[in-house]
Structure 1
């Protein structure tokens, strides 16, 4: 599944999002999904991860859970063989102020350029048919774990970073980024387990 905008790195994705309609006072999930495309598993994961991590946005109560719902629905549909992802209206209508959204996007631009400089095509077989589905299974597990993470300090950030790495890996066909995402999710699960003991 390829992004209709053929985004190949983080700055490309941010540019696609910035090209959305600028006149509205709020930005909805539907606006962002429309900007990256409904057939775009990697970019949708990347968007969910970035929103969870983003200053201002990710700190809004319930936002990690909302992104978890998006990732869960998309992952299940990918595993079921869907060509385009369906998302419920209640999820698509959720929104936040344009001012907060634009500010978070500007903050992300500088690290995005640095991250893009580290990405390259590596271990591309990990981003093929089987690799994408393995990634979808891991993302499904991340999505199921995210709601309770809101009550454990820093754990939702770990999940957001893992989703960001997995999305970057698929978008840039960088298998190393995928492996780092898998490892980070494992580390986050270990951290949560130790916190609960």
Structure 2
């Protein structure tokens, strides 16, 4: 589900987030959603994954859980064919310091350039139509597990990596990346179950 103005790669998305943070001391979920577009389901998942992965941001207690709720609400609305994304104010007003956000974005620039060279429209049938809805369901399962991932060391990073891969697969219409994302999800799920059992 692509809209005009949606980013088609990670570097474009990071630039949109950077623009949304301009001139603010703190940047809210609402600011970021406005930056990437309130009808952009794929970019929202990608943003949630990137922020969970980014140093100084994803390590803040509660941030992975809040981002999981954003993903859950966003993709739930995709499954019900909503045209725009609605996020309750108690989530949309949550914020992070601008300096930490910008440092995280700087850290992500190099991996973004690398990933953009290796992603693009491939096996598109896995990233559109039924494939898109299947990715949405898997991402929602990852999002539901985020509170548990905050307890198991490093598993939130795995969840963030999976969401990033799924979000990029949606943005770039890359079915091969969707397969990689599914594998990341399975490994992260195993880590969470093993960590909780131990």
TM-score class, shorter-chain normalisation, is over 0.9
Q: Distance in 1 between matches of 2:38 and 2:89?
A: 14
- The alignment covers a number of residue pairs equal to 197
Change (3 A) 1:23 1:43: same
> What are the ranges of 5 or more consecutive residues in structure 2 without an aligned counterpart?
none
- 1:20 offset after TM fit, Å? 2.0
* 2:11 and 2:113 in contact (8 A); partners too: yes
Gaps in structure 1 of 5+ consecutive residues: none
- 1:13-52 → structure 2 map (5 Å cutoff): 13-20=13-20, 22-52=22-52
Q: Is 2:165 aligned against 1:137?
A: no
Larger mean Cα displacement after TM superposition, 139-148 or 3-12: 3-12
Aligned residue for 2:151, secondary structure, equals: coil
d(CA) in 2 for partners of 1:140 and 1:183?
15
Secondary structure of 2:146's partner? helix
Deviating 4+ runs (over 3 angstroms)? none
Which TM-score applies when normalising by structure 1? 0.96
Task: Please state whether the residue corresponding to 1:19 is helix, strand or coil.
Answer: helix
Q: In the alignment, which residue of structure 1 is the partner of 2:88? A: 88
**TM-score, structure 2 as length reference:** 0.96
User: Aligned to 2:96, what secondary structure does the other structure show?
Assistant: strand
Map of 2:181 onto structure 1: 181
Whole-angstrom distance in 1 between the partners of 2:52 and 2:32: 14
> Aligned runs of 1:4-153 on 2, under 5 Å?
4-20=4-20, 22-153=22-153
